[in-house]
Amino acid sequence: MSTITVRLIGGLGNQLFQYAAARALGLRRSAQVKLDLSGFESYGLRRYELGAYPIAAAVATASELAAVGADKPAPRLLGRVIGRLKPRSAHHYREPHYRYDPQLAQQPLPMLMDGYWQSELYFADIAGVLRLELTPSDPLEPSNAEVADKIGRSNAVSLHVRRGDYVSNAHTNSYHGVCSLDYYRAAIAHIQARVAGAHLFVFSDDHDWTRENLKFDLPMTYVTANTADRGFRDLQLMSLCKHHVIANSSFSWWGAWLNPSADKIVVAPSRWFAGGENDTRDLLPASWVRL
């Protein structure tokens, strides 16, 4: 059987996009999916996070990576620039731009997929499969089960605020930016006009900030049970909510997408990056509301 090896890098949201695109292509072409984790060896900010899920993929061995010409990603910016100038293996397909790339599906196998693949257009046709495979294997811990029960008994709306390195790291801040309070006020007004009895469940990496700055005339529950290394649980709880207000973050993108309801309202920021260099027309599903 042929193989599709996908390079994983970034946080949990990025890894989910990379896996989902490879998994969909593997099903269409009867190919096994292998995971290239070599990038994490020199990328101290993030780690492999898909181990909590019953995914249909195996970690690629050194010999399997060599067979598709998978050089280790360079740790520094200059090294990455030089690496992009080096000739690639015939098996190595690098994402050419940010928007959906239909050429991915036409590449010969075996293949190494190298990119972010941030559009449901790569995998919408296997949504049911992915939502099963991206449900954590282990049952909810008592603290999370309590939140899940509260979500199930209310007209729950997840609200995600991403700060962390979006604020503390100057380079990351200049690239991503953060969603403004005006955005969150407009998003909640949009929800309130359409959802009776909404109850906000707030997910964030900075709850001190959210408690101080997010003031809405709605019931609000701050979901604080999970540490940064258990983001998969926050995603799972987000997906149980009926509606969603997301940040400019692939993490909350997945929290909303994993909710299978056709009636969900998802509000997303129209400006995803601080700069305008990426074409984000394919990033958000058509039914989502851009504000």
pLDDT on residue 82: 47
Q: Which of 99, 130, 161 is the C-terminal boundary of a domain?
A: 130
SS3 204: strand
Of the pLDDT bands very low, low, confident and very high (cuts 50, 70, 90), residue 73 is: low
Of the pLDDT bands very low, low, confident and very high (cuts 50, 70, 90), residue 155 is: very high
pLDDT on residue 87: 55
pLDDT on residue 274: 67
Of the pLDDT bands very low, low, confident and very high (cuts 50, 70, 90), residue 70 is: confident
Query: Are 103 and 225 part of one and the same domain?
Result: no
Contact 265, 191 (CB under 8 A): yes
Query: Are 167 and 284 part of one and the same domain?
Result: yes
Domain span holding position 221: 141-290
Residue 204 in this model has a pLDDT that exceeds 60: yes
**DSSP state, residue 290:** E
Please indicate, yes or no, whether the overall pTM of this predicted structure exceeds 0.85: yes
CA 83 to CA 64: how far, in whole Å?
20
pLDDT on residue 278: 85
Give domain status of residue 60, yes or no: yes
Give domain status of residue 22, yes or no: yes
Q: Which of 76, 100, 130 is the C-terminal boundary of a domain?
A: 130
User: Angle, to 10 degrees, between the axis of helix 12-28 and the axis of helix 231-240?
Assistant: 70
**Side chain identity, residue 285:** P
Mean pLDDT computed over 84-110: 87
Query: Are 78 and 173 part of one and the same domain?
Result: no
Give domain status of residue 40, yes or no: yes
Show the CA angle centred on residue 129, arms to residues 127 and 132, nearest 5°: 105
Mean pLDDT computed over 227-239: 95
Give domain status of residue 170, yes or no: yes
Query: Are 278 and 156 part of one and the same domain?
Result: yes
pLDDT on residue 257: 98
Of the pLDDT bands very low, low, confident and very high (cuts 50, 70, 90), residue 44 is: low
Query: Are 85 and 164 part of one and the same domain?
Result: no
Contact 243, 157 (CB under 8 A): yes
Give domain status of residue 135, yes or no: no
Query: Are 70 and 191 part of one and the same domain?
Result: no
Query: Are 69 and 103 part of one and the same domain?
Result: yes
Residue 191 in this model has a pLDDT that exceeds 60: yes
| DSSP assignment string, 213-233 | H---SS-EEE--S--GGGHHH
CATH code, domain with 273:
3.40.50
Measure the N-to-C terminal CA separation of the chain; round to a whole number of Å: 45
* HSE toward the beta carbon, residue 289, CA cutoff 13 A: 18
Query: Are 118 and 196 part of one and the same domain?
Result: no
Query: Are 160 and 86 part of one and the same domain?
Result: no
Query: Are 57 and 159 part of one and the same domain?
Result: no
Domains in the chain: how many in total?
A: 2
φ, ψ dihedrals at 31, nearest 5°: -120, 150
Query: Are 145 and 99 part of one and the same domain?
Result: no
φ, ψ dihedrals at 204, nearest 5°: -165, 160
Of the pLDDT bands very low, low, confident and very high (cuts 50, 70, 90), residue 90 is: confident
177: region left, alpha or beta (phi > 0 left; psi from -120 to 50 alpha): left
Give domain status of residue 136, yes or no: no
β-sheet bridge partners, residue 156: 199
Mean pLDDT computed over 193-201: 97
Q: Which of 108, 130, 152 is the C-terminal boundary of a domain?
A: 130
Residue 194 in this model has a pLDDT that exceeds 50: yes
Residue 247 in this model has a pLDDT that exceeds 60: yes
Query: Are 84 and 179 part of one and the same domain?
Result: no
